[in-house]
């Protein structure tokens, strides 16, 4: 089998339906299997998949197991030569899947490839970033990256100099759509289930790069990404999850056993998280007033 696609869904019924329609249309000439792992949705997403897409292999979880654990459920049994991790808030452009597979088929050193993501309004989504080093996190924390977004040093983490219009190696592309060789799983292992939501793909990409394997971005494949549609349902929880995920990433890969650095990073990330939460709450409160 050439391709196994994994979609982890939580309360995104209509988006998931649109995603599956576009995906299955593009898989007509590809020997493939498609899995949907429903993380205990309350909007009848799982029933919709069962009734309207009987060719899809549906896994119903009775709890929300998070993104990493839900993907791992399928990674353990997927048969494809290639594995496609796909968000339910995406829609596949014509030939995108074939172009991604073709890229890996013709680039032996590439082990992961990501497409160009397109926002809902048709603009290009800045979907690639460098790894979050200690200095990158510090610049984010004290606001230098926001004050000087185009500065080579302060803007390096978000790769603001990259126009996303040409192929290049990258550290960590957005996890909305990633095509991965099966051999990656055999060499690197599966996703770290210590992450619940956000930063699990960053951790995976870091481990892949540490093993000397190449990760690529190509604009020859395009996927529309309705960014944040699932996350916005629980925005505050996702802000906290993001910052905890970033702390886990730092403590796992960069920690040097210095308690004061550990305290500084954790305190700074939590402070920034609560500043973001207060700002979000004030914005919502004012908009409803």
Give the residue extent of every domain in the chain.
Answer: 3-127+164-230, 132-161, 233-288
Greater model confidence, 103 or 261: 103
- Beta bridge partners, 60, equal 38
Which class for 267: exposed (0-12), middle (13-18), buried (19 or more C-beta within 10 A)? exposed
Q: Is the pLDDT reported for residue 33 higher than 80?
A: yes
Residue 100: partners with Cβ closer than 8 Å, 6 or more residues away: 84, 113, 115, 179, 218, 221
Asked if residue 11 lies in contact with residue 54, where contact means CB atoms within 8 angstroms, the answer is no
pTM of the complete model beyond 0.75? yes
Greater model confidence, 48 or 135: 48
- Class (C level, CATH) for 3-127+164-230: alpha beta
Please tell me what DSSP assigns to residue 241: H
* pLDDT (tens digit per residue) in 110-162: 999 999 999 999 999 999 999 988 777 777 767 777 777 777 777 788 888 88
The pLDDT value given to residue 188:
94
- In the structure, what pLDDT confidence band is assigned to residue 230 with cuts at 50, 70 and 90? low
Which H or E run contains 186?
A: helix 182-188
Q: How far is CA 122 from CA 116, 158, 238, 255, in A?
A: 12, 20, 25, 40
């Amino acid at each position: 089998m050439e391709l196994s696609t994994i979609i982890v869904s939580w309360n995104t019924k209509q988006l998931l339906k649109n995603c599956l329609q576009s995906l299955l249309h593009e898989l007509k000439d590809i020997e493939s299997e498609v899995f949907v792992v429903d993380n205990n949705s309350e909007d009848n997403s799982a029933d919709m998949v069962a009734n309207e897409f009987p060719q899809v292999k549906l896994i119903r979880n009775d709890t929300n197991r998070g993104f990493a654990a839900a993907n791992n459920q399928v990674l353990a049994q997927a048969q494809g030569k290639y594995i496609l991790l796909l968000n339910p808030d995406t829609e596949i452009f014509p030939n995108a899947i074939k172009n991604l597979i073709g890229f890996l088929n013709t680039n032996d050193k590439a082990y992961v490839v990501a497409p160009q993501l397109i926002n809902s309004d048709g603009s290009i989504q800045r979907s690639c970033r460098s790894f979050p080093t200690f200095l990158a996190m510090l610049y984010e924390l004290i606001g230098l990256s926001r004050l000087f977004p185009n500065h080579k040093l302060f803007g390096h983490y978000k790769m603001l100099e990259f126009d996303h219009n040409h192929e290049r190696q990258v550290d960590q592309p957005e996890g909305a759509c990633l095509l991965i060789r099966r051999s990656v799983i055999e060499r690197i292992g599966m996703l770290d289930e210590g992450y619940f939501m956000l930063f699990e793909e960053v951790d995976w990409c870091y481990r892949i790069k540490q093993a000397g394997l190449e990760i690529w971005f190509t604009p020859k494949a395009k996927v529309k990404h309705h960014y944040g549609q699932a996350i916005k349902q629980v925005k505050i929880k996702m802000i906290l999850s993001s910052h905890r995920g970033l702390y886990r990433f730092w403590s796992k890969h960069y920690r040097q056993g210095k308690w004061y650095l550990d305290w500084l990073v954790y305190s700074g990330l939590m402070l920034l998280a609560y500043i973001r939460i207060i700002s979000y709450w004030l914005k919502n409160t004012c908009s409803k007033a």
